[in-house]
Structures are given as structure tokens and as C-alpha cells.
Amino acid sequence: MQLPPKWFPLHATLASYADILKSPVFLTFYKNTLLVAAGATFLCIFVSIFAGYALSRFRFKGSNLLTLLFLSAQMFPTVTLVIGLYSQYQTLHLLNTLYVLILASTSASLPFSIMLMRTFFNGISRELEEAAEIDGASRFKTLFMIIVPLSKPGIMAIGIYTFLIAWDDFLFGMTLVSDIGKRTLSPGLSLTYLGEYSANWSGATAAAAAATIPLLIAFMFLQRYMVEGLTAGGVKE
């Protein structure tokens, strides 16, 4: 912010990191984001498994149209859906809750996740299910004991994808929640550290760096599974 710029500051300090770790507001944002990301990830995986399996194994009237609708949902920018979502969630009395952020993040991730799981299930031989049926296994037992274990790369991929979408969300968190106690990191940090006439740059930078820690951990330990899941799902018929 200085002209001429000072490339090497003489007094470096970690005081801003200590300040944010002592801040109850920042810790609340962090806790809310973890809850929303975890909830959206679990819900998206749960729905994607059943929806992807249904589209892969059952042929019913309108199944092709339903698949086309899922694909077309990816064409619209998220900002064009906010007004409709806001009206629906207001009718359901879900505004200013963590549930509305979980549902919104899940809805943003579902089209891609369902299509990926459908592709995975298409690549699994139906003979395995027929053999399990002969042995007396029910449809649900076959799904969770045979099909799901064979689809672990795809499940890991959509889990990481949904977690990142929910963790980075700004638009839904800004428009669907106004209670500061229910804010997540992205909108919370923007409103707390950055104002119209002043900005706490050191606090905002420290908070942003701390907010990336879960994402760094996810990429360090799980990027192999995400790449494997996306590439494997892309080549199966």
C-alpha cells in the first residue's frame, strides 16, 4: 500500500495469527464452515449414490430427460439461481440457519456428482449383481456390499469436490444468511476485516491463510484419489 513499495519489511510479526486464534468471531466462522462442508459432503454422497445407481440400472419413462436436466443444470451461473433459492428457503423458514447453507452447497454439487457416479456404476458389470441376487442378496445389500466398495474412487472424488465447493462458498453464505453467528469463513471474513472506508489487511491476510489449512491438508493427502476418481469415471462407458 506504499509508494515506493517496501519490499522487505523491517518488522515482521505473527501477532495477527495470535489475534485471530483468540477471536471468538473467527472461531465461530471456522466451526460453521466445517459443519456446512461436512454436512454438504455427506448429503451429496448419499444422494449421488442412489440417484447415480437409479439412472445407471433402471430404465423408466423420462430417465433420459432427467439425465439431460441434470446436465443442463451445470449451464446456469449460480448467481442466476439465488433469487429462486432464496424464495424457496424463505417459504421453508430455513434462512439464517446452517441447514440452508448445507442444502445450497449440496444442490450446487449434485449435478456433477450424480453424473460421475452414474458413469462409475455403468462401468461395473451387471453380472456381479446377478450373482449376488442368486445368492439371496437384496437390492440394497448388493448396492452397499458390492457396488459401493467398487466405486470408492468416484465417491472420494465427489466427496472432495463437494467439500471444496462448500468450503469456498461466498455467494450463498452472503445472501442466505445475515446472522453473524451463522456466517461461514468467506462472507464472514469479508464483512469483518474489510470495510468501505478501512481494512484490517494484516488480520484479513492471517485469517485467509488460516482458512486454507483444511484445503491444503485435503490436497496433500487426497489429491491422488480425486484425480483417480475423475479420470477413471471419464473413460468408462
Average pLDDT for the chain: 84
Torsion sign across C-alpha atoms 91, 93, 96, 98: negative
Three cell numbers written together for 67: 439425465
Q: ∠ at Cα 150 (145, 156), nearest 5°?
A: 110
Identify the pLDDT of residue 196.
63
178 neighbors 97 (Cβ within 8 angstroms): no
Three cell numbers written together for 185: 469463513
What does 77-92 look like in DSSP terms, one character per residue?
A: -GGGGHHHHHHHHHHT
Architecture label for domain 24-235 = Orthogonal Bundle (1.10)
Q: How confident is the model at residue 235 (pLDDT cuts 50, 70, 90)?
A: very low
Average pLDDT over residues 180-206: 83
Q: Directed axis angle between helix 152-168 and helix 98-122, to 10°? A: 150
Identify the pLDDT of residue 203.
84
Q: Reply yes or no on whether the pLDDT at 105 is more than 90.
A: yes
Q: Directed axis angle between helix 98-122 and helix 82-91, to 10°? A: 120
Its pTM stands at 0.83
Q: Which helix (H) or strand (E) holds 218?
A: helix 213-235
Q: Reply yes or no on whether the pLDDT at 195 is more than 90.
A: no
Least confident residue range of 40-49, 57-66, 133-142, 179-188? 57-66
Cα–Cα distance measured from residue 127 to residue 20, given in angstroms and rounded to the nearest whole number:
56
**From start to end of 112-191, where are the E strands?**
none
Q: How confident is the model at residue 32 (pLDDT cuts 50, 70, 90)?
A: very high
Each domain of the chain, given as residue ranges in start order, spans 24-235
Cα–Cα distance measured from residue 154 to residue 143, given in angstroms and rounded to the nearest whole number:
15
Q: How confident is the model at residue 7 (pLDDT cuts 50, 70, 90)?
A: confident
Q: What share of the chain is helix, strand, coil (3-state, %, to 5)?
A: 75, 0, 20
